[in-house]
């Protein structure tokens, strides 16, 4: 797991690892330069591909800029470094980096005016090393003018650690803020880089680990993480070569109502596509004919229903008995807001012996009764979006750090896992850990997408994942399947069923 940090946490780790030892700090700066060099080489594959301009501020971001400049010079690239301060104003590691760059006969010009940048549009790449992660508020003076010039140059920008002007705690861009094609963040990712609107300016975010001592990182990080691909691969349930369908998990879905058979269909098929051996769908008897025409691989069970064509409270005993034979229970897709159905949901959550995924109308059943969620007989996963969260608790705060802490606190208080839908999706577990899933695309903002997610997660629980691991892994599979669908159809034209049809591609991406 990769720790995701606040700016203050990253600064503390940096200070403790370096102390007052400039040589140690310079060794970390050289590692940062290697990460930037590799990214620059991908954007400009050969020295013949064009010139590279590097704009360096007076802090360590500028030092990183001089370091990558030296490496590019040594590789045969034509480089021009621009400085926002006189060399005498540079100190510590940044001064060492400058001396190393000019010692290789690197070109350097101090900017007295933004016009001194010349014709940036003739470059193949601009490296933004102007401002670091500590900025609060808007850039000003020459720095602001330079940022605006970078944005209008029409040239890809590679940002050092952060796009200059971005608040890395709040995810809020200053006016102006660099629009990067690629950002190489140093040490560990900062939380604000994953939240909009700032995330739209980061471009492709890459993490360059610098090798900080593990004991220092452990003392100063929070319990917020980004799962690495190896972590996800370990979570994925193993297939059993000699196993039957029962050995690969049996899931029970309580879903659907009159006029809402699509939700039940999407969640059930997604569960099968994710690998569980059998799916039982319990739904009002009156909608069974429609579902029978849609679903051939799902076992259908008619339920007692209300006059409105929704699942009735009187179906609870059958459902509890059925849940005792399954490894996972999904409650919610397309259930409706009927009061009798809501009472059924609350009884199942309190008494079900199978781990539960509570989604959509399953969550709405607790509107005004959120404390009832504290009583659940089995592990519980809640999957709200912002509106459902507000109906249960209150409006979520705006700051990324505050959002994460609110989810962390609630997950612990209610002894449940929470998957808070959005971009990024945030998963909080009762043990205090929080995981970010910053994947997916705007095409996934379509009716039924959440039903697909609930089916994926339920399937993973049925196959043996904990509800927390299923949420982390399921969010990733869902997002990557959405990316595959968008790649084929475009973000305008994809629908929820296209996400389901791409689940296999997402899983293949994990298994390699």
Query: pLDDT at position 221, please?
Result: 87
- DSSP-assigned letter for residue 396: P
SS3 labels along 197-230: CCHHHHCEEEEECCCCCHHHHHHHCCCEEECCHH
The continuous run of DSSP H or E covering 427 comes out as strand 425-428
Q: Tell me the whole-structure pTM to 2 decimals.
A: 0.93
pLDDT for 357 equals 98
Q: Return the CATH number of the domain spanning residue range 231-236+244-511.
A: 3.40.1190.20
Q: Do the Cβ atoms of 59 and 90 come closer than 8 Å?
A: no
Distances (CA, A) of 425 to 185, 330, 386, 445: 21, 19, 11, 13
Distance CA 369, CA 305 (A): 23
* CA–CA–CA angle 26, 30, 34 (5° rounding): 165
Domain positions in the chain: 2-222, 231-236+244-511
Nearest to 205 by CA among 171, 234, 174, 250: 171
Cα–Cα dist 399/408, whole Å: 14
Q: Pick from 20, 10, 35: which is nearest to 91 by CA? A: 20
Distance between CA atoms of residues 164 and 133, nearest Å: 8
How high is the pLDDT of residue 42? 96
Specify whether the backbone of 171 is left (phi greater than 0), alpha (psi in -120 to 50) or beta: left
- CATH H-level superfamily of 2-222: YjeF N-terminal domain (3.40.50.10260)
DSSP state of 395: P
How many helices (DSSP H) and strands (DSSP E) are in the chain?
Answer: 19, 20
Structure token pair of residue 128: 């933004």
Residue closest to 97 by CA, chosen among 196, 191, 30, 6: 30
Kindly give the confidence (pLDDT) of every residue in the chain, 512 residues in length, as a single tens digit, with 9 standing for 90 and above: 999 999 999 999 999 999 889 999 999 999 999 999 999 999 999 998 889 999 999 999 999 999 999 999 999 999 999 999 999 999 999 999 999 999 999 999 999 999 999 899 999 999 999 999 988 899 999 999 999 999 999 999 999 999 999 999 999 999 999 999 999 999 999 999 999 999 999 999 999 999 999 999 999 988 999 999 999 999 999 999 999 999 999 999 999 999 999 999 999 999 999 999 999 999 999 999 999 999 999 999 999 999 999 999 999 999 999 999 999 999 999 999 999 999 999 999 999 999 999 999 999 999 999 999 999 999 999 999 999 999 999 999 989 999 999 999 999 999 999 999 999 999 999 999 999 999 999 999 999 999 999 999 999 999 999 999 999 999 999 999 999 999 999 999 999 999 999 999 999 999 98
Query: Phi and psi (nearest 5°) for 186?
Result: -100, 135
């Amino acid at each position: 797991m990769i720790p995701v940090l606040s700016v203050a946490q990253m600064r503390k780790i940096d200070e403790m690892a370096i102390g007052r030892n400039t040589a140690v700090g310079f060794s970390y700066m050289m590692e940062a330069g290697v990460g930037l060099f590799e990214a620059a080489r991908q954007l400009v594959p050969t020295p013949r591909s064009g010139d590279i301009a590097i704009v360096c501020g007076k802090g360590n971001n500028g030092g990183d800029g001089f370091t990558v400049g030296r490496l590019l010079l040594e590789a045969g690239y034509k480089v021009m470094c621009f400085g926002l301060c006189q060399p005498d104003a540079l100190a510590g590691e940044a001064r060492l980096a400058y001396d190393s760059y000019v010692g290789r006969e690197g070109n350097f010009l101090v900017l007295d005016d933004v016009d001194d940048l010349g014709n940036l549009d003739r470059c193949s790449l601009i490296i933004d090393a102007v401002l670091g992660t500590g900025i609060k508020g808007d850039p000003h003076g020459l720095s602001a003018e330079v940022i605006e010039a970078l944005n209008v140059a029409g040239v890809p920008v590679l940002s050092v650690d952060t796009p200059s002007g971005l608040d890395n705690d709040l995810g809020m861009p200053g006016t102006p803020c660099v629009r990067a094609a690629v950002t190489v963040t140093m040490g560990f990712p900062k939380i604000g880089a994953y939240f909009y609107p700032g995330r739209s300016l980061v471009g492709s975010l890459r993490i360059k680990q610098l090798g900080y001592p593990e004991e220092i990182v452990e003392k100063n990080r929070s319990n917020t993480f980004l799962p690495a691909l190896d972590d996800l691969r370990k979570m994925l349930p193993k297939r059993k070569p000699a196993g039957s369908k029962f050995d690969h998990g049996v899931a029970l879905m309580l879903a659907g109502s009159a006029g809402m058979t699509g939700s039940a269909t999407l969640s059930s098929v997604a569960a099968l596509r994710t690998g569980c051996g059998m799916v039982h769908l319990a739904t009002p008897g009156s909608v069974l004919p429609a579902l029978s025409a849609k679903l051939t691989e799902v076992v259908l069970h008619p339920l007692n229903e209300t006059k409105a064509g929704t699942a009735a409270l009187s179906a609870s005993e059958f459902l509890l008995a059925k849940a005792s034979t399954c490894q996972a229970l999904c409650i919610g897709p397309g259930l409706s807001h009927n009061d009798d159905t809501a009472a059924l949901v609350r009884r199942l959550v309190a008494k079900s012996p199978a781990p539960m995924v509570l989604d959509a109308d399953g969550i709405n059943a607790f509107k005004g009764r959120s404390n009832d969620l504290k009583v659940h007989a089995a592990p519980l996963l809640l999957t709200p979006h912002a509106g459902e969260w507000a109906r249960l608790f209150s409006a979520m705060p705006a700051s990324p750090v505050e959002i994460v802490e609110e989810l962390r606190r609630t997950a612990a208080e209610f002894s449940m896992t929470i998957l808070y839908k959005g971009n990024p999706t945030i998963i909080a577990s009762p043990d205090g850990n929080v995981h970010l899933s910053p994947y997916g695309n705007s095409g996934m903002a379509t009716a039924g997408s959440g039903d697909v997610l609930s089916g994926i997660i339920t399937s993973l629980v049925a196959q043996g994942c904990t509800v927390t691991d299923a949420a982390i892994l399921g969010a990733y599979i869902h997002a990557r399947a959405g990316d595959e669908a968008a790649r084929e159809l475009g973000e305008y034209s994809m629908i929820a069923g296209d996400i389901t049809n791409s689940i296999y591609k997402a899983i293949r991406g994990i298994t390699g």
